[in-house]
Amino acid sequence: MTAVQPDTVHALADSIFLFGRTLRAALTRSEPDLLPNALAGVLFLLARTGQCRPSVLAAEMHVGQSSLSRHIGELVDRGFIRRDPDPDDKRAHLVTCSPEGLDMLAAIRARRTERLAAQLDDWSEAQVADALDVVARLDAALSPIAATDAATTTNLQRNCS
């Protein structure tokens, strides 16, 4: 296989960045009554991951634990996440989505699905499936880099504390 040209990679990186901004704006427009995007992201990944320590969730999200801690605190205050003692380590705790958090997540997903479906009404099922395949392939290719960067950030935070 021939290596991808740097100009092509640069164009792809720019397109992904711009697409991410467009997607976020299109899907989260008029959603402040539900939940800010950053908090919705934490809730989504926690629901997908299941009950875990915040450090596991931070690694999954590719963020440092200190920034995630603020989001978890806000979601706990809103009743969307439960924080329970870790039975294996009384100094630590586990987080999990509350029933109210799962209800909120369902409302967010329903609104975003409706909004995206309306914009893709002229796409075929095969075109959407092709797009899903490309996004999954990009995610698989980029996830190791993001995981390495998140681990480096977490290690730097530990060493600076």
Alpha-helical runs (H) found in the chain: 6-28, 37-49, 54-61, 65-77, 99-119, 125-160
Given this model, what pLDDT does residue 27 score? 76
pLDDT digits (tens, 9 = 90+) for 62-119: 888 888 999 999 999 999 999 999 999 988 999 999 999 999 999 999 988 988 899 9
Kindly report the number of other CB atoms within 10 A of residue 83's CB atom: 13
Q: Are the beta carbons of 149 and 62 closer than 8 angstroms?
A: yes
Please check the confidence at residue 159 and state whether its pLDDT lies above 60. Answer: no
Q: Are the beta carbons of 43 and 60 closer than 8 angstroms?
A: no
Residue 82 φ/ψ, nearest 5 degrees: -105, 140
Percentage of the chain modeled with pLDDT above 90: 59
Q: Please give the C-alpha separations between residue 115 and each of 15, 33, 35, in angstroms, as whole numbers.
A: 21, 16, 16
pLDDT digits (tens, 9 = 90+) for 28-41: 765 556 788 889 99
User: What tokens were used for 133?
Assistant: 């395949």
* Domain count for the chain: 1
Given this model, what pLDDT does residue 152 score? 54
Given this model, what pLDDT does residue 15 score? 93
pLDDT digits (tens, 9 = 90+) for 59-78: 888 888 888 999 999 999 99
Within a domain: 154:
yes
Q: Are the beta carbons of 98 and 81 closer than 8 angstroms?
A: yes
Q: Name the pTM for this structure.
A: 0.76
148: confidence class by pLDDT, cuts 50, 70, 90:
low
Q: Are the beta carbons of 84 and 96 closer than 8 angstroms?
A: yes
Q: Which domain holds residue 55?
A: 31-160
Within a domain: 7:
no
Within a domain: 126:
yes
Query: Please, what is the average pLDDT of the chain?
Result: 86
Residue 57 burial (C-beta neighbours within 10 Å; 0-12, 13-18, 19+): buried
Given this model, what pLDDT does residue 35 score? 87
Within a domain: 101:
yes
CATH number at residue 48: 1.10.10.10
